[in-house]
Amino acid sequence: MLYAILKAIHVSAVALSGIGFFARGLGMLMDARWVSTRIAHTAPQLVDTMLLVSAVALAWTVRVSPLAAPWLGAKIVGLVAYVGLGLVALRFGRSRAVRGAAWIVALLLFGFIVSVAISKDPRGWFAR
d(CA 13, CA 8): 8
d(CA 88, CA 106): 10
pTM of the full structure: 0.89
d(CA 76, CA 110): 12
Query: In which band, very low, low, confident or very high, does the pLDDT at 16 lie, cut at 50, 70 and 90?
Result: very high
**Alpha-carbon torsion angle 115, 98, 34, 38, nearest 10:** 80
**Alpha-carbon torsion angle 16, 106, 7, 35, nearest 10:** -20
Asked if pLDDT for residue 65 goes beyond 90, the answer is no
Mean pLDDT of 60-89: 90
Tell me if 120 sits within 8 A of 71, measured CB to CB: yes
DSSP for 62-112, written as a single string: HT--TTT-HHHHHHHHHHHHHHHHHHIIIII-SSHHHHHHHHHHHHHHHHH
* pLDDT at residue 106, rounded to an integer: 97
Query: In which band, very low, low, confident or very high, does the pLDDT at 50 lie, cut at 50, 70 and 90?
Result: very high
Query: In which band, very low, low, confident or very high, does the pLDDT at 55 lie, cut at 50, 70 and 90?
Result: very high
Give tens-digit pLDDT for 30-41. 999 999 999 999
Give tens-digit pLDDT for 100-109. 999 999 999 9
